Chain A
Amino acid sequence: MAQSVHSKKRVCYYYDSDIGNYYYGQGHPMKPHRIRMTHNLLLNYGLYRKMEIYRPHKATAEEMTKFHSDEYIKFLRSIRPDNMSEYNKQMQRFNVGEDCPVFDGLYEFCQLSAGGSVAAAVKLNKQASEICINWGGGLHHAKKSEASGFCYVNDIVLGILELLKYHQRVLYIDVDVHHGDGVEEAFYTTDRVMTVSFHKYGEYFPGTGDLRDIGAGKGKYYAVNIPLRDGMDDESYESIFVPIISKVMETFQPSAVVLQCGADSLTGDRLGCFNLTVRGHGKCVEFVKRYNLPFLMVGGGGYTIRNVSRCWTYETSVALGSEIANELPYNDYFEYFGPDFKLHISPSNMANQNTPEYLEKIKTRLFENLRMLPHAPGVQVQAIPEDGIRDDSGGEDEDKESPDERNPQSARDKRIVPDNEFSDSEDEGPPGSNRKDHRNFKGAAGTTPNRKRPRLDPKTGMTTDGTLLDAKQGSGPPDVEMKEDKDDKSGGASGVEKKEVPVTTV
């Protein structure tokens, strides 16, 4: 990969000084204090004054119920440590109590965490910022009506929902050591959000995230899971992160990215089992940043708090594109960083159970799945900015639209992300080429293994644009198993039906 040239970006940072004061309970590994430690480091590194700083609003119940069920939010709002006994039944139902304890200020904590991510997403929608950071967010396990893995309210889902108002496709990347199941589940059946999660898999919380979980219905192939083993080091991580994200960017062509920077994938984490250093972890940020898309960075896991604050401080500096010294500045929590008082950490000597062959296998498998994606889904669909009247049923109108009307969309996209470039993708056109040119290589058969693929309608098992394909392209059956891509123009509605009917029963 080419070395990145740090470009200066407009960075907005969301932080509420109260967030460090919430306490999950004695012996609980989740410590919101790490967010304050990060903040204090940023301040003393002089990064604070280089960013726009916002104190987020407290998300309202109304905002939270855009994803969560009313009952669940109502429950979170009313439960307190002193009235827990009255809620025994609901606590069980909503999985609050053990991993996700009731603590003083629980609801406010959720409000601040969600408020930050939503405000950040709005900021990106306004195009008033290029990168937004909310280290208080990233609680990716929370489900629609269920707390899970120290997460109560899924700020990421709320943020993505906000982004979806003005972005056709949003990419979610999760580098937490745990699977991002809450986000994946929320968007499991939509093709407008692709969730990509790199996580430890096998006898590990939360148990989901198998390679074969790829999404359902319309969202089939829009969930990407990279199951990994213990001991991932910087090198292996990069060797799988970079090609997969490049391919995802190329095929999915998102117009906004959300990165969950869970720091429990660092070496020496209290709960994690990877062996990444701060630098290796930060490389993910660096890599995603290079795509110059509206970029939301959120926190997440991370249970060795001194390393978490190191990591997020470094990643903030990466986002800002300003280098910081390895020697930590003196700060309120300086003693936590002993004995070396340095920013960067060294990996341990633990064995890496991920062999290059294993990673290669995963990569091939995922590339096969990604090849099933229609190129830049829905581009043709949404190209109706003139009338602005839209069918509420989401992508249904995809069928009606003709791909020839793509032009306005591309033009619009160009305006949104003027400097959208995929300089790191070998398959791409010259630097500076934007979305617009995907039409070119789509047309030129054989230049790229990514082909437009018909997709399934969740109900009928028909391709959503089957008729279109028939009429315009005269398609043959696409081969689900094939490794080498054949002809773009092959692949027909009938063939798709035959091959993929079982999926529709999901």
Chain B
Amino acid sequence: MSIMDSNTKKTRLPSPLDDDLSNDKEHYGRIRVGKDYQVPVPTFSPPTESAQGLPDMALQVWCPTDKLSDVKLSNYLLAAKEKFGYKEEQSLGMLLWHQHSLKDAITDLANFMPCPDEWTMKDKILFEQAFQFHGKNFYGIRTMLPEKKIAQLVKYYYMWKKTRNSKSLIDKYQTRKKMKAMKNGEDSLDIDEDMSDSELPNEKKWKPGCQQKAPVPSTRHNESQGEGFCSNCHIHCSNCYSTPKGKMCASCQMHFKRTGTLRPTMANDVNTLSVLKLRKNPPKGMYLNHDDLSLLSINAQANAVLSNLSREVVSCKHTIQLNKQLISALLEQQSKLGSSIGKYRADPVAKTPTISTNWNSAEMSFAVHGIHKYGKNFKAIAEVMETKTETHIKHFYNKYKNYYNLDTLLTENDPGNCIMDTGDGKS
């Protein structure tokens, strides 16, 4: 019995065995026989009522019910989540506890506070630092976060792992810088070794540091009089003030009013073309608004604002995926319908009478057959053919009379033998 390292498992060469099954190669693994290896098998007793009374050995936390409609259930879950922050499992557990009585469950929701596995900003930063230092050695990380259990660390790690790039600007900035050093120029997508498969494709390079934000071509552009870009710090703001030095945002205008000079910004010399080139656009769809920024910096509850926003983002993503599911379901339905309609359509499609003067070969042979069958009853032929009028057929007859020897066909024709045949012209 070989004990293999996980790596050796992977790197083992494919089987060298040939296809001969009966080769007398030595087994290199053996199932051992003996009382040290086999298990004594319990005696069988026929299932009786006693089996029904066996303990469950597990705690039931949810059981589906016919009593509630899907819509009602979803509404309940949504309410529990938005009002009290319950997770779906928790709310369903509550519902089961109240024997699927929605009313009781809703009233009871307020009595409990789902205890969130809260990570403070400080913890998060500490974790990030510890992770940089120790990697995935959670014992090591724990020395820096002693009040957390390993289990909590592992749980947080998996949550954080894939989202860290969108959360940690510093991280992002560093990878950008690395990338830039590697490939000079080119506006390429960033590929982080960890995020290679989840990077949003529309995330373009941009530099942190809001002072250098370039004017954003947004729809709000110059909509109202007061709105526009500050000529000093180049940030979009909803209220611009005209000054002798041009439009300015509230902060710059205040500074100008007080000191009579332009507020010093990092982007003082933006007017030169070279600097303009350096400016990077923020990610597509991201609008930096001066007012929002100032609100964030003033508001003591900035974190709450942010977390509200991120919750909103998550619910938007939920909706996006739901819509995608809906779309693909509809598409599937459509293609199904399309194929099933096709069966019925086969005839009608062929019959859609689009009368044209051009003769194709099928029509021509059809007409010949028609003449063979119906003689000079051009009207009948036209009715059967549908794509030609009576006069068309007449013309055809006159034109090809000699070529197809139509007159001989006419003489062959036995009027008593006119089977209504809608033949396809090839028979």
* A residues apposed to B, CB below 8 Å: 14, 17-18, 20-23, 26-29, 33, 36, 43, 48-57, 66-67, 69, 81, 95, 98-99, 104-105, 115-116, 118-119, 122-123, 125-128, 143-145, 148, 157, 161, 164-168, 179, 181, 184-190, 192-193, 200-213, 216-217, 223, 229-230, 270-271, 273, 325-330, 332-336, 338-339, 341, 353, 355, 357-358, 361-362, 365, 382, 385, 388, 390, 392, 394, 412, 416, 506
Contact = CB atoms under 8 A, between A and B. Distances in A.
Interface of B: 1-6, 9-10, 12-17, 19, 21, 27-33, 36-39, 41-47, 51-52, 54-64, 73, 88-89, 92, 135-139, 150-152, 154-155, 158-159, 162-163, 195, 197-199, 314, 317-318, 320-322, 324-325, 328-329
Contact of A181 (B31, B54, B92, B328): B31
Contact of A330 (B39, B135, B318): B318
A202 B17 contact: yes
A18 B117 CA distance: 13
Contacts of A164: 41-42, 44
How would you classify the secondary structure of chain A's contact residues: helix, strand, loop or mixed?
loop
B53 to A, nearest CB: 8
A450 to B, nearest CB: 22
Contact of A204 (B9, B38, B314): B9
A213 B30 CA distance: 8
Contact of A49 (B30, B43, B62): B62
A122 B14 CA distance: 41
A365 B3 contact: no
Given A125-B47, A185-B32, A188-B33, A21 B64 contact: no
A358 B306 CA distance: 61
Given A48-B62, A54-B58, A127-B51, A144 B37 contact: yes
Contacts of B89: 17, 43, 48, 53
Contact of B58 (A119, A181, A223, A357): A119
A333 B158 contact: yes
A393 B189 CA distance: 70
Contacts of A48: 62, 88-89, 92
A202 B59 contact: no
B64 A51 contact: yes
Given A51-B62, A181-B31, A185-B31, 18 more contacts: A23-B150, A48-B62, A57-B57, A99-B3, A116-B58, A125-B47, A126-B51, A127-B52, A145-B36, A148-B3, A200-B15, A202-B15, A202-B17, A210-B29, A213-B31, A325-B328, A330-B317, A332-B159
B328 A327 contact: yes
A355 B20 CA distance: 12
B4 A205 contact: yes
A186 B29 contact: no
Given A21-B154, A161-B39, A223-B31, A54 B15 contact: no
Contacts of A353: 14-15
Given A98-B5, A205-B9, A161 B36 contact: no
Contact of B19 (A187, A332, A355): A355
Nearest to A50: B64
Nearest to A378: B44
State the 3 A-B residue pairs at the shortest beta-carbon distance, nearest first.
A202-B15, A207-B29, A208-B29
16 contacts: A20-B158, A21-B150, A26-B135, A48-B92, A104-B139, A122-B55, A125-B54, A126-B54, A127-B52, A167-B44, A200-B15, A271-B10, A327-B325, A330-B318, A339-B198, A388-B45
A29 B136 contact: no
Contacts of A334: 317, 321
B384 to A, nearest CB: 42
Contacts of B10: 270-271
A128 B13 CA distance: 47
Given A29-B6, A98-B5, A143-B37, A206 B42 contact: no
A165 B52 contact: no
B198 A336 contact: yes
A203 B92 CA distance: 48
Contacts of B136: 26-27
A206 B29 contact: yes
A53 B60 contact: yes
Contacts of B57: 56-57, 115, 118-119, 122
Nearest to B142: A104
B32 A394 contact: no
Contacts of B43: 165, 390, 392, 394
A288 B27 CA distance: 31
A192 B41 contact: yes
Contact of B198 (A193, A204, A338): A338
Q: Which of B4, B28, B31, B37 has the most CB of A within 10 A?
A: B31
A367 to B, nearest CB: 13
A22 B14 CA distance: 32
B3 A95 contact: yes
A325 B332 CA distance: 10
Contact of B38 (A189, A200, A210, A388): A189
Contacts of A325: 325, 328-329
B51 A271 contact: no
B39 A166 contact: no
A192 B41 CA distance: 8
Contacts of A98: 3, 5
Nearest to A30: B6
B44 A192 contact: yes
Contacts of B42: 161, 164-165
A33 B21 contact: no
Contact of A273 (B14, B135, B152): B14
A17 B90 CA distance: 12
Contact of B5 (A66, A99, A116, A206): A99
Contact of B139 (A81, A326, A336): A81
A5 to B, nearest CB: 18
A144 B39 contact: yes
Contact of B2 (A33, A193, A206, A416): A206
A506 to B, nearest CB: 6
A287 to B, nearest CB: 24
A144 B36 contact: yes
Contacts of B325: 325, 327, 329
Contacts of A333: 158, 162
A394 B43 CA distance: 6
Contacts of B17: 201-202
A240 to B, nearest CB: 14
